[in-house]
């Protein structure tokens, strides 16, 4: 049984009297020890999917309008708000792109970790402080004994993101969702933070969902990849299989943004056009206005997911590597 199983998830946003779907029938699962990358351009529904799993959409005018999500076999959508909060505090944690907006600038970082620890565990303040220092050490903050008393602005961007990871780990989550955790960091620091996450995963077995617009980051970090376009998963596969075939034209377009990978594929120059907006009506395949392989069938018929190899699903009438 997968740790997290998302089936046909639909999320909609309210516009006046209308509910417009923004995530449309998304299915994937994540196991212990696994890192799943969700990749796509901004506005494709990656962050909303993450927030839905965390139960953080409530009250935002955006809500889950269909599908199922099971965590450890339990139906997340059927739970009471209390049960959900308990899971969020104990079994799932999330880190965001910009730690400065998640860390409170007027509190010392140690106090913020201590507060997170005391919310989840019955620890004395002294024990919580000791644990906070251990966590800072675990995420490789230098001199954690004194850094524990720093304010967020006294730390570098990379260190602040490490503090966020320490806070996320304070509850020993079974699932860690990282939404563009390294996008605001420069490339070397980015790599350090990703390596740190993977290293912690090796020790704890935590499942990770890594959300990024950068297929390169996903390629280096994840066991499997889900490519999202306009609220749908257009290609899902184990990482090796995905890069082997690059079956969906959109996946190929995304790959173009990774300059360093040396592969013999016929590159798209860039993905022309733009992501359709919410509420826009597009007949057939939603990618057809931008797709170099589009044929008339693509303009009329929505492609359904099909399995082109074990565990490799593609929503396209004419995937690369398939019959034409
Ligand atoms: Fe392109 Fe057609 Fe495949 Fe859509 S279904 S991605 S338009 S080839
Ligand atoms: Mg986002």
| Index of the ligand 1 atom closest to the CA of residue 299 | 7
* pLDDT of the residue at 257: 55
* pLDDT of the residue at 265: 40
| Ligand 1 atom 5 nearest Cα | 316
Q: Give the residue carrying structure tokens 């960091």.
A: 185
Spatial strand order in the sheet of 92-95: 92-95, 175-179, 207-212, 35-39, 224-229, 232-238, 312-314, 306-309
Nearest listed ligand to the Cα of residue 181: 2
If you measure from the C-alpha of residue 42 to the centroid of ligand 2, how many angstroms do you get, rounded to a whole number? 6
Q: pLDDT for 183-223, tens place per residue?
A: 878 888 888 889 988 988 998 899 999 999 889 889 999 99
Does any ligand 1 atom lie closer than 6 A to the CB of residue 317?
yes
Percent of the chain with pLDDT over 70: 94
**CA–CA dist 206, 138 (Å, integer):** 15
CATH class of 4-91+205-314: alpha beta
Q: What is the pTM of this model?
A: 0.90
Domain positions in the chain: 4-91+205-314
Does any ligand 1 atom lie closer than 6 A to the CB of residue 294?
yes
| Index of the ligand 1 atom closest to the CA of residue 291 | 1
| Index of the ligand 1 atom closest to the CA of residue 248 | 6
């Amino acid at each position: 049984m997968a740790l997290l199983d998302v089936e046909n998830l639909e999320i909609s946003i309210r516009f006046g009297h209308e509910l417009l779907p923004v995530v449309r029938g998304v299915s994937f699962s994540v196991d212990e020890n696994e890192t799943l990358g969700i990749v796509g351009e901004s506005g494709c529904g990656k962050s909303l999917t993450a927030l839905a799993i965390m139960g953080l959409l409530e009250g935002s005018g955006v809500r889950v309008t269909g599908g199922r999500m099971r965590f450890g076999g339990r139906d997340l959508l059927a739970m009471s708000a209390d049960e959900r909060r308990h899971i969020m505090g104990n079994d799932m944690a999330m880190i965001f792109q910009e730690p400065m907006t998640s860390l409170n600038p007027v509190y010392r970082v140690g106090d913020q970790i201590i507060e997170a620890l005391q919310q989840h565990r019955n620890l004395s303040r002294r024990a919580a402080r000791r644990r906070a220092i251990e966590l800072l050490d675990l995420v490789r903050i230098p001199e954690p004994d004194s850094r524990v008393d720093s304010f967020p602005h006294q730390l570098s961007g990379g260190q602040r993101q490490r503090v966020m990871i320490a806070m996320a780990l304070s509850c020993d989550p079974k699932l860690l969702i990282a939404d563009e955790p390294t996008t605001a960091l420069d490339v070397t620091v980015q790599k350090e933070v990703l390596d740190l996450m993977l290293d912690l995963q090796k020790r704890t077995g935590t499942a990770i969902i890594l959300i990024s617009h950068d297929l390169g980051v996903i390629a280096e970090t994840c066991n499997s990849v889900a490519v999202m376009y306009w609220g749908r998963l257009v290609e899902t596969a184990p990482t090796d299989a995905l890069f082997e075939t690059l079956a969906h034209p959109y996946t190929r377009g995304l790959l173009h943004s990774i300059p360093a990978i040396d592969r013999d594929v016929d590159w798209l120059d860039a993905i022309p056009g733009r992501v359709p907006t919410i509420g826009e009506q597009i007949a057939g395949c939603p990618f057809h206005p931008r797709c170099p392989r589009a044929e008339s069938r693509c303009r009329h018929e929505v492609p359904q997911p099909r399995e082109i190899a074990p565990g490799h699903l593609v929503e396209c009438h004419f995937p690369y590597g398939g019959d034409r």
